[in-house]
Each structure stands twice: as structure tokens, then as C-alpha cells.
Amino acid sequence: MADIIKLDMTNVADTQLGVFQTTPGQFELTDYTNNGTLELAAARVEYIGEFPYRVESGDLAITDGLGASAGLIYVHVKDDGDGTASAYTDTNKGTFDPNKGGWYHVDGAKVVFKMTKTSSVYYNKGRMTNKIVDARLDDDTEQALLFSLIF
């Protein structure tokens, strides 16, 4: 089973793992098509708060404890306090934290992805953006309206 591990950048071995054996970029899903697959791709690194985390030992299935038709859902990644982190779904999108450069839930989890879930199928999978405009708009319809007015 894959894990999300915290990289200790003061440790030479972890620094090499983080810098030399990592696919550049942030966490990514293995599949963005409309289906029932929800996994983090292996070897990706992303900062959760102040520390980098890496998906180890293959792709990681994201824990989904929500119902079959949960509507708008988000993928959270949270430090477990033991050198690992967990990825799971939640209906709370959190708020944008400009100091951390991302979306965070009050419990410290970073909100990484947004999608719609209907009949156990995930639709419109995508990363949360760092645009402040997202914090003021609750859904895609409001965003589309705003962008049509601007452009």
C-alpha cells in the first residue's frame, strides 16, 4: 500500500529523495476522466503547510467515506502527526490562506482537488487554484458568470 510521507529536508537521504527521485510538480491525480477512479499519482511532492510530502510506493487510493452521490466534493491531505499524511474526501472546501499559498481546512488539512460525485462516479476533476476569486464564488455557475462579464 502506498503512503504519503513527510520529507525531512535536514536529512541527506530524504533531501536526495525529495530532489533527485521525485517527479517535478505537485500532487496529481492518476486519471482526470469521468469515472470511479480517485488516486494520487506516485512520486509527486507537495507542501502541506511548511513541509514537503511525497507519495511513496506506487499510486495512492484516496479514502472516500462520502455517499454515492455526494455532490461537490474536495480532496484533503492532512498530516497524521507521525511522519505520514492521509488523503480523503470531504464536502468542505476550506478557505484560501495566502500565507501558505493554498486552500486549507480549519483542521490543518490542505484542500488539493475539487470535483463532483454522482452515483459513485467522479466528474470534472481538477486542482484547487490559488486565485482569490475562487474564495468569493461558491460554484462553477457563478465563476462562469463572472468570467463572461469580464471577457
- Least confident stretch, 11-20, 52-61, 117-126: 11-20
Q: Pinpoint the alpha helices (H) of 44-139.
A: 133-136
Is 63 within 8 Å of 89 (Cβ atoms)? yes
Sort 106 into a burial class: Cβ within 10 Å, 0-12 / 13-18 / 19+: exposed
For the entire predicted model, the pTM comes to: 0.78
Encode pLDDT of 49-100 as tens digits.
888 898 987 899 999 989 888 899 999 999 999 999 999 999 999 999 888 8
Of all residues in the chain, the percent with pLDDT exceeding 90 is 46
Q: Three-state SS for 148? A: helix
CA distance 40 to 55: 7
| Euclidean distance between CA atoms 92 and 112, whole angstroms | 12
Q: What is the CATH number of domain 3-150?
A: 2.80.20
Question: C-alpha angle with apex 20: 16 to 22, nearest 5 degrees?
Answer: 110
Nearest-CA neighbor of 114 among 78, 133, 138?
A: 138
Residue 19 scores a pLDDT above 60: no
Mean pLDDT of 35-57: 89
